[in-house]
Amino acid sequence: MQEDKQLIEQLKHGDSTALSQIYEKYGSSLLIIAYRLLKDLSSAEDILHDVFLAFAEAIETFTLTGSLKSFLAACTVNRARDAYRHRKRIISLDDVTRIPACPDCGPEKEVQASEELARVEEALLTLPYEQREVILLKIHGGLKFREIAGIQEVSTNTVQGRYRYGMDKLRQLLDGEADHEEHAGYRTVG
């Protein structure tokens, strides 16, 4: 938190490398959140660009009152939510440019990781948007339930419920697929 405050002060005094440092620190996790909410890498990159551009443009009047990570995640989620509402359609997994599941793995592990990631992403798409948003902010954003509650403008209990119901549904879907594959004569790798 102190490092973030220093970076903000440097940015306010015209040090453009401070914005780069903030981007390096939070950009990849914000991109993952936007991508997993929208299922479109190009739109996610546009949102990330817009978030950082708006942040830089408003830096003179910006006051950090909490976590910078939480603030940037809220901005990202709000823009992704707006884009999602504007589109109002689900993109097929076949139409999505994929983020590599395991860039440092060998080919066999990369394929296995990609297959697992595809199963999870497909299951995520079946969840209500609010549950998907909570799960992604918690897991990929590393945010606390109270921070997510602030972003979604609901109670912490509501966020915890959305997380629990969403995770339960994901487990059911993924366990159901494994059971189906076993009954179809396939063996799952555990």
What's the confidence (pLDDT) of residue 92?
Answer: 37
Domains defined for the chain, CATH in brackets = 1-89 (1.10.1740.10), 104-190 (1.10.10.10)
Range with lowest mean pLDDT among 4-13, 31-40, 42-51: 31-40
Backbone angles phi, psi at 39, to 5 degrees: 60, 30
Query: Looking at the predicted structure, is the pLDDT value of residue 100 above 90?
Result: no
Per-residue pLDDT reduced to its tens digit, 41-78:
888 999 999 999 999 999 999 988 888 998 999 899 98
Per-residue pLDDT reduced to its tens digit, 132-155:
889 988 888 888 999 899 888 899
What's the confidence (pLDDT) of residue 64?
Answer: 86
| Torsional sign, CA 16, 19, 25, 29 | negative
What's the confidence (pLDDT) of residue 65?
Answer: 86
Q: Per-residue b/e over 163-182, b at no fewer than 16 CB within 10 Å?
A: beebbebbeebeeeebeeee
- Nearest by Cα to 147 from 80, 65, 86: 65
C-alpha span between 135 and 52 (Å, rounded):
23
Q: Is the pTM of this model over 0.85?
A: no
Query: Looking at the predicted structure, is the pLDDT value of residue 183 above 50?
Result: no
pLDDT above 70: percentage of residues in the chain: 78
